[in-house]
Amino acid sequence: MKFVLLGYMGSGKSTVAKALSNQLHLPCIDLDDYIVEKEQMTVNKIFQTHGEIYFRLQESKYLKEILEMDSELVISVGGGTPCYSNNMDLINQHSRSIYLKGNIPTICQRLKNEKDQRPLIADLNDQQLTEFVAKHLFERRNFYERAHEIINIDNKSLEDLLSEVSLSIKEYLK
């Protein structure tokens, strides 16, 4: 079985996926890291050099490649992955998907100090960031909410979140 963690930037997908993979002894792939390795370029650089449309095409191609691998996996995808092409259909066909759902203040608080590596928000000040996240989350919500399961991340420590996700996954590993 494959498990895909999805959600907005800053929702902790990669961190939770790595911790889960350690805890459950399942291999883990982070889609952004996979793209960076395959393209030999950071996500920022891909956006700058080739533009977002190219990034989205590659993202979709590599997502499919990972979802078709013949192994159990924990996969964390990018914040935009579920919202382009037929990615969300593919995710739901090939895996058990979990949306890590945060509200606007939670997401903004987490993103404030980690904007630099994220091309979509790198140049925004705090006020602009809040407006951007509010609008963007609204636009993306319908895609995220197609996940098989929704787990709320607000006011939860990594440990609490991890036990919650791990409990829900274990049911599917039996």
**What is the contact surface with ligand S3P in residues (CB under 6 A)?**
9, 14, 32, 43, 78-80, 118-120
Instruction: For ligand S3P, give the closer residue by CB, 123 or 172.
Output: 123
Cα–Cα distances (Å) from 163 to 3, 76, 116, 131, 157, in that order, read 15, 17, 30, 32, 10
Four-residue CA torsion sign, 7, 11, 12, 16 = negative
Query: Cβ 22 to ligand S3P, closest distance in Å?
Result: 19
Reduced to 3 states (helix: H, G, I; strand: E, B; else coil), residue 28 is strand
Instruction: For ligand S3P, give the closer residue by CB, 55 or 169.
Output: 55
Query: Cβ 43 to ligand S3P, closest distance in Å?
Result: 5
Instruction: For ligand S3P, give the closer residue by CB, 52 or 164.
Output: 52
Tokens 């274990």 -> residue: 170
